[in-house]
A and B are shown apart, each in its own frame.
Chain A
Amino acid sequence: MSERQHIASLRVARAVGEPVEGLALVSTEGFSPRYDLDRWTGLITKPGHKLEGRSIVDRICFFPTAKGGIAAGWAFPDIAAKKLAPRALVFGVTNPVMVQGAAFAGITLTEGWEPDALAVVRNDDLVRIDPAERLIHIYR
């Protein structure tokens, strides 16, 4: 980890949760725990999803948008209780349900990014999120 170099910092518009660090999982497709996720394994199972077959467990997940959907309010605390939650959810654009679910589950969540995270962050980059400062630091 000490060999990683800081490559960028992103400013986010809104954030909730505690400071967190983890490895990035980046999607160019939006996300919903109802539409896309097997909530008993933590795997993305929707056929054709950009992350099909990948696990969100303990990752810092970058999604451009939120899909749907009302389920995240209960689904996030459920997967957190099952130890299947991501460490954080970083959205370009999200919806209230994702925020309500993350706040209830104690999962860090941010919305809005500058510069565009999808142009900067790669899978397995080390990510540190400071919600109070509304900053995300990327290391590679």
Chain B
Amino acid sequence: MRLSALEQAMLAGEHGEAVAEALAYQIRVGEFFGAEDFVPITNAHMMGDIEVMGDSGLAHLGGFRSKGARCRVPVTTNARCADFAHATRLGQDEEEIAKEKRLIAHLQAMNVVTTDTCINYQTVYQPHLGEHVAWGDTGTVIYANSVFGARTNFESGPAALAAGITGRTPRYGFHLDRHRRGTFRVVVDTELDDLADWGTLGKLAGEFRQDYYAVPVFEGLRRTPTADELKHLGCALASYGSMGMYHIVGVTPEAPDLATAFGGAPPEPALRIGQAELDRVYAGYDVSDPGATLVVFSGPQLSLFELKALAERFAGQRVHPGCQVFVTTGRGPARDAEALGYLATLREAGVTILEGVCFYILQNLSEMRRRNGWHNLISNSAKLVNIIGAHRFNTILRRTDDCVAAALTGRVTGAQS
């Protein structure tokens, strides 16, 4: 890679050991992808929690801190693995929770702003068209690239932290014009009435081309999508297809028309998605055991408007005995929803609200599943029902109303019921 004078000085250790170490690591990654140089960034968003990083990651952070590492651009954190107010009730390990607190202290000492949210793009920072950032998780990345027209690759925890420490990231992938053009065309020929429908659209297009550099171009949408709908579409594309960008003709900023989205003559449609395709997805889940003991609204965290909509659905109702319902959100939406009475409504119905976490990241989740006898996990998040597989839930995607009905009746409802 071609290094500037500043970067050469960083690599030589003139800006401290931690900076040199971070830049050397970034160079290894950049060279793999054939990056010619670095691009300065304005913002980083990193995953860092004890469930995923373990003792070795905690030791790494401690080592970085002791070497004087300090982020030089604003760095925020993704959802973490424990809401400390609920850790004991959920049976999470005290020792691991203590480590999580040490981990947070390390990050804050390195000038990281521990926001603990996977919807930073809705609640914390909205980069503008062409702005280079270094974000993870994947839902944040695909939203930044697609909806804002900002530029970022998937940046894992260590990579985003390194970017925060050096203030730059290798210039490859979605930082380059050539990777931002559409690669296949998807015609949508149905109404998308629920967040789960948008996630299902993302699942279908994602599974069609499991490739980081595949960029679907959607056309045919019958109305302007909301931010929450684009959130669920992007999260599903990133989850099922490992994709980092999409276009919607006439909606997203780099797709005013088909030709612009593709950077030239558009190809023939590769995929057509109508109501029958959506229905087949919902019908494909195993509901041979229709019991609903766990309903989860999470992955990604809920926005204020999602919390409001959910509170309206649960108002005056009670969760069925034996069923547990979880909602996860960030601190910002939680504060607003508390002030507006939405959380009180949800709690009165028997819903548990977790802050600063995402359900699939929860520390000790497999043990939690066994202890509670959870088999089915019912959710309106296409991402969640895909990502949580290693914990051996039987996951069932349903529209939001069907999820609420399952929570209230103790039985899975919906397309296959």
Which A residues are within 8 Å of any B CB, using their own CB? 14-16, 30, 34-39, 45-47, 49, 64-75, 77-78, 80-82, 93-97, 99-101, 103-104
Contacts and interface: CB of A to CB of B under 8 A. Distances in A.
Instruction: List 6 tightest A-B contacts by C-beta distance, closest first.
Output: A73-B156, A81-B56, A46-B389, A78-B54, A74-B53, A95-B212
Contacts of B238: 68-69
Contacts of A70: 47, 78, 136-138, 154-157
Contact of A78 (B31, B53, B154, B391): B53
A103 B44 CA distance: 20
B153 A96 contact: yes
B54 A47 contact: no
B392 interface: yes
A82 B31 CA distance: 28
Contacts of A64: 210
B390 A74 contact: no
A97 B10 CA distance: 24
Contacts of A101: 156, 158
B318 to A, nearest CB: 32
A82 B159 contact: no
A71 B389 CA distance: 14
B33 A35 contact: no
Max chain B Cβ within 10 angstroms of own Cβ: one of A36, A67, A97:
A97
A76 to B, nearest CB: 9
Contacts of B366: 38
- The size bracket of the interface on B is 35 or more
B138 A69 contact: yes
Interface of B: 25, 28-29, 31-34, 47-48, 52-57, 60, 78, 136-138, 153-159, 172-173, 210-212, 238-239, 242, 244, 360, 366, 386-387, 389-392, 394
Contact of B211 (A65, A96, A103): A65
Nearest to B211: A93
A74 B32 CA distance: 19
Contacts of B33: 14, 96, 99
26 contacts: A16-B32, A45-B391, A46-B390, A67-B210, A69-B242, A70-B155, A71-B47, A73-B136, A73-B155, A73-B159, A74-B47, A74-B48, A75-B52, A75-B53, A77-B56, A78-B55, A78-B56, A78-B57, A81-B55, A95-B212, A96-B33, A96-B153, A96-B173, A96-B212, A97-B154, A97-B156
A95 B211 CA distance: 8
B54 A49 contact: no
Contacts of A99: 29, 32-33
Contact of A35 (B211, B244, B386): B386
B210 A93 contact: yes
Contacts of B387: 34-35, 68-69
Nearest to B388: A35
B210 A30 contact: yes
A72 B57 CA distance: 12
Contact of B57 (A14, A15, A65, A74): A74
A74 B239 contact: no
A34 B242 contact: no
Given A74-B47, A77-B57, A103-B29, A49 B157 contact: no
Given A81-B54, A95-B212, A96-B159, A47 B392 contact: yes
Given A14-B32, A15-B32, A95-B154, 6 more contacts: A45-B389, A70-B138, A71-B156, A78-B57, A93-B211, A104-B156
Nearest to B212: A95
A70 B390 CA distance: 15
B28 A103 contact: yes
Contacts of B155: 70, 73, 96-97, 100
A64 B25 CA distance: 26
Nearest to A65: B210
A35 B154 contact: no
A35 B390 contact: yes
